[in-house]
Every structure is written in C-alpha cells, then in structure tokens.
Amino acid sequence: MLNIGGLNQGVVIDHITVGGAMKIYEYLQLDRADVCVAIIKNAKSNKMGKKDIIKIEGPLLVDLDMLAVMDPNITVNIIEEDRIVEKRHLRLPETVTGIIRCKNPRCITSIEQELVHKFRLTDHENGVYRCVYCEQAFRRN
C-alpha cells in the first residue's frame, strides 16, 4: 500500500474522476507554483470505486469552484494544523473563462484565435453553459 504523508497546511482536492487529476494540475498551473504537490491516481474509493486525489502543501489562492466545471464530484478539504477545517462541495460558477471551449465553427472565437472563450451558466440544474458570443450550449458531463 502506498503511503502519502499528511499535510500540516494545504488543500486536498478529492473525489476526482479517475484520469482527471492531470487536467486539474494543468489548469491550476501547479507546475509553476512553488509548492509541494502529490497526485494520487486510481486510489480506492468506497463511493466511487476508484478516484484521483491531489494534495497541495500550502495555501492555494484560486477560485476552486471553477473545478466543478471540469468534474462535478470534486470535494475540497482545507487543512490547517494537521486538521480538516473546511470541507467544500463545489458549486458551478455563474461565468467561466478559459476552461471550456466553444465548439461552434461559426463562433467569433473560432475566427479570432486570441479571444478568450467565455461561458455563462444558463441551466443550474443540468449544468448547461452558453457561449457569451454565439449562445452555443456546453453541457457538463
């Protein structure tokens, strides 16, 4: 059994769908951060069968709710002094910039490559976002 040590202070991103940890690692640009990071892939989970986990030592100063767009099952544990002080279930953000891409070939984002892809949440219950430029729908899986 693999043993990854605990955190004195940091963030644990838990219940990531298997195979999703690297996408989150890249989105959070953890390769550029001066923090210790542990990625656990295919960990056993009673709830999910298997899951990925990311442990980050130290504070993480980003809007973690954006991760809900990538994976709705994610939970975030905030660790201080070796204890979980907060367990967050993420909520879908109202607007998303630069995470999802518009698939409409007629959208201005297809022509203007440097234009940032921006979406607005239009259906909370079903997790549907629409492109602010062309109204193309994006459904969260």
Task: Give the pLDDT confidence of 9-61 residue by residue, as tens digits.
Answer: 999 999 999 999 999 999 899 988 888 999 999 999 888 899 999 999 987 77
Q: Is residue 39 part of a domain?
A: yes
Q: Is the same domain home to 76 and 100?
A: no
Count the neighbouring beta carbons within 10 Å of the beta carbon of residue 104: 16
Cβ neighbours of residue 26 closer than 8 Å, sequence gap 6 or more: none
Q: What does each C-alpha distance from 132 to 20, 26, 114, 129 come to in angstroms?
A: 26, 25, 16, 9
Gap between the Cα atoms of 39 and 35, Å rounded? 13
**8-state DSSP, 17:** P
Q: Is residue 38 part of a domain?
A: yes
pTM of the model: 0.81
Q: Is the same domain home to 104 and 62?
A: no
The SS3 call for residue 43 is strand
